[in-house]
Structure 1
Amino acid sequence: MVRLQASVFKLPPRPRRVVARPLADPPPPADRVTELRRFGSNPGALRMFVYAPPQLVEAAPLVVVLHGCGQDAASFATHSGWIALARRQGFPLVLPEQVHANHRNRCFNWYRPGDVGQAGESLSIRQMIALAARRFGSDRRRIFVVGLSAGGAMAGAMLAAYPALFAGGAIVAGMPVGAASGSLMALHRMHRADPLGSRAALINAVQAASPVRKGGRFPRISIWQGSADRTVDPANAELLAAQWSGVHGLELLPASDTEPAPGLRRRAWRGRSGERVEVWTLAELAHGYPIDPVVDEGRPGPWVVEAGVSATRRIAGFWGLGDG
């Protein structure tokens, strides 16, 4: 009787299952605003755009620019001078964009509990930053966020929710963290700042939205407001100053109060590591983002106003990017 070897009865190896994976987005082309469609779960259903400079500096900073209501990401970044500055200094921009399905006026939902505090739109922006920082090899110690109006209020919400992520932020014609929790209250507080809000309540609103314990580190912040603004009550800038100087553990009164030019006032609050909060007040500025077209290489547009001063250059200087 002939014995057959056991190997004769072995089944052939099962073919390996190949799982098709979507191709990654190609590297963003230089000196253009490009949309990236795959950046995470995107719970806030936002669009992501980036700007890559022609010559990217190694370990460059990363700046997130949040547009205001009725604007689009690319136009606001261009008109405000952020693209020109990024091109000159060789750092990339992240440009989140709101969509009509989320808000009919394309405002970021800075007041909705489901879109701030590491959820919804806030989390979508965080996912955009994570992708961009990897793609561009950004210096994780130099990530910044700036926004106008609703974008400014969302910038404040991002600074509160992710304080360890950012080195600095800027709020232009924006609202304090926690000023509203619904659309009607948001409109009311935009036109009339809360006169009953105490400084302690303002500070608590940031701390309630933040993972940082009391006494922890928060980013430095630049606040800008026009005194002739009829869309956002200028008193909101005073609440922002009280809120963020308090969060940093600083006195209510500023360490310095100067007038660099007629109608232009700057106040600063200083801590152990230098200035932590600054507030710029422009006497004749209505609602909008102030630019100097020559300095910014930008031009006036919807809610981007020629004011003879470059908020972009000053904010970047305050953050330590450029000469300010």
Structure 2
Amino acid sequence: MKLNVLVTALSSVSAVWAAQLTQVSNYGGSAKAKPQMWVYKPDSVKTDALVVAIHSCQSSAQKYFQNNKIPWKQGSDRKGYVTVWPSSTTECWDVSSKASLTHDGGGDSNAIANMIKYAIETYKIDPAKVFVTGGSSGAMMSNVLAATYPEIITAVSLYSGVPAGCFVSSSGQAAAWNNTCSGGQSRASGQQWGNVVRGMYPNYNGTRPRMQVWHGSTDSTLSPNNYQETIKQWTNVFGVSETPTSSKPDTPEKNYRTDDFGPNLQGIWAQGVGHSVPSHLDQSEAWFGL
């Protein structure tokens, strides 16, 4: 009986000290947008890498973290990397206003960049090991971050998004919905899409994040057309052909196709999959080099 009481007590102590999602109340920076920053530091930190996991619309850091279909907590526990979970103060992320579509413009992208800078300093992250992922609105923000803050991001793995700048609001409204883009009617040449990226951070000549783009063929929320437009955008940014250098059917699973466009861009087309493509932890971690 006494042994059982002792075991229960020790279990309670263990639960108290176990790693948990924790809010950072002041992550600094001058961005006007103030999304919340949440951090998960695993009990055993085994690497100096950071993964930023960005939630979809009508969600939050807590909901995304607790979603069993979002595997980044499990990845963090397994491989020992720190994760940052931004939490929007609006229904969806602001990927439409000039403030968020401009380097140091003060919008949501600026705030998340400040979270990354805070995490690098606080958790002793290697600046060359900063990775970003997200689904739907989080995927859109992942693309925007790759365009606005390429100097602090190493690689991106985004699920079911749109090209960077596709959701731009003509009125300048923050977090506006764009039916033309979501419906797949925003079409442009690779050069035009590439110019959108370059225009978000003029005169930047440094390294760009490696991009992994996932999309489902039956996505009725963000048209599958956005997949090809995103590929056009980043092939232009990287200066490579829109024709894959290799194509692997039934990869990473049946009815998926993985296309490589050189070493910096990979597209995964999920035949028969809607919105949004399920996270594939192993493939995203492999793209990040984790």
Give TM class, smaller chain.
0.7 to 0.9
Residue 174 (str. 1) matches residue 143 (str. 2): no
| Contact 1:34–1:50 (Cα < 8 Å) also in 2 | yes
Residue type at the aligned position of 1:116: L
Shift of 1:77: 3.3
* TM-score (structure 1 length as normaliser): 0.77
Shift of 1:180: 3.1
Where do 5+ consecutive residues of structure 2 fail to align?
A: 1-16, 170-174
- Match of residue 144 from structure 1: 131
Shift of 1:170: 1.9
Structure 1: how far apart are the matches of 2:243 and 2:55?
A: 31
Residue 69 (str. 1) matches residue 54 (str. 2): no
The SS at the match of 2:248 is: strand
Shift of 1:231: 0.1
Structure 2: how far apart are the matches of 1:264 and 1:131?
A: 37
- Match of residue 156 from structure 1: 143
* TM-score (structure 2 length as normaliser): 0.85
| Contact 2:101–2:165 (Cα < 8 Å) also in 1 | no
Shift of 1:74: 2.7
- Match of residue 286 from structure 2: 317
Residue type at the aligned position of 2:248: T
- Which structure has the larger Rg over C-alpha atoms? 1
Shift of 1:193: 3.4
1:104-135 C-alpha deviation (Å, 9 max, x unpaired): xx200111112232221111111111111111
1:274-311 C-alpha deviation (Å, 9 max, x unpaired): x21111111121112414xxxxxxxxxxxxxxxxxxx2
Structure 2: how far apart are the matches of 1:151 and 1:313?
A: 19
| Contact 2:94–2:176 (Cα < 8 Å) also in 1 | no
The correspondence for 1:109, drawn from 88, 94, 102, is: 94
Residue type at the aligned position of 1:206: V
| Contact 1:223–1:278 (Cα < 8 Å) also in 2 | yes
Structure 2: how far apart are the matches of 1:91 and 1:218?
A: 22
The SS at the match of 1:133 is: helix
Shift of 1:184: 6.2
Shift of 1:211: 4.4
- Match of residue 190 from structure 2: 199
Structure 1: how far apart are the matches of 2:241 and 2:271?
A: 25
- Match of residue 90 from structure 1: 80
1:30/1:201 Cα in 2 relative to 1: closer, same or farther (>3 Å)?
farther
Shift of 1:30: 5.2
| Contact 1:116–1:123 (Cα < 8 Å) also in 2 | no
The correspondence for 2:208, drawn from 190, 210, 218, is: 218
- 177-186 or 252-261, which moves further after superposition? 177-186
Structure 2: how far apart are the matches of 1:228 and 1:73?
A: 27
Residue type at the aligned position of 1:201: Q
The SS at the match of 2:21 is: strand
Where do 5+ consecutive residues of structure 1 fail to align?
A: 1-28, 292-310
Residue 35 (str. 1) matches residue 38 (str. 2): no
The correspondence for 1:122, drawn from 101, 109, 134, is: 109
- Match of residue 264 from structure 2: 276
Structure 2: how far apart are the matches of 1:140 and 1:213?
A: 18
Residue type at the aligned position of 1:190: S
1:290/1:211 Cα in 2 relative to 1: closer, same or farther (>3 Å)?
same
Shift of 1:245: 1.4
